[in-house]
Amino acid sequence: MPNLPIPQLTFFADLSVQVDVPIDVGQTVHGIRRVIPIVGGTVQGQGWTARVLPGGADFQLLVNSRLAELDARYVIETDGGDLIYVQNRAVRTASPEVMSKLVRSEAVDPQSVYFRCSPSFETSSKALAWTSESLFVGTGARYPDKVVMRFFEVT
């Protein structure tokens, strides 16, 4: 086997994404479908900040009583005025009791939930083009009115 580099994680940003009341589509052929509107938020990177623009959404599929597949899509605007489209796919799993509290938008201990994500970015900014050429991972926690996440670049 060749001497392959071992991936490292480098902090990219902390996000606090404000959400509105979920729209429950109901039981579909794939599971229970929900859409959670994104209404704003903040982003804090190392030496830069941004805001989450309203208008995005988190498209959720409750696969079973323990597993939710998430696909959030939204735009952030950096303090320099650059726009970045974010697509963040995630897996959230917990005991059925904890998951049912999350579905009801109740507070739970974030340590009782496995929440991992893989955000990807698109931008027309030449200075930020590298974000479309790198792999990112993250971890998160759901609160009644927001989702907080920490993103890392895989280097």
Strand segments, DSSP code E, in the chain are 9-19, 23-27, 32-45, 48-52, 57-62, 67-78, 83-93, 114-123, 135-143, 146-154
Name every residue whose Cβ is closer than 8 Å to that of residue 39 and which is 6 or more positions away in sequence: 18, 19, 20, 54
pLDDT in tens, 15-48: 999 999 999 999 999 999 999 999 999 999 999 9
Angstrom distance (rounded) from CA 85 to CA 90 = 16
Model pLDDT, residue 97: 97
Q: What residue type is assigned to position 154 of the chain? A: V
Percent of the chain beyond pLDDT 90?
A: 95
Query: What are the backbone angles phi and psi of residue 36, rounded to the nearest 5°?
Result: -110, 110
The domains of the chain, with CATH numbers, are 9-154 (2.40.160.20)
pLDDT tens for each residue of 92-119? 999 999 999 998 989 999 999 999 999 9
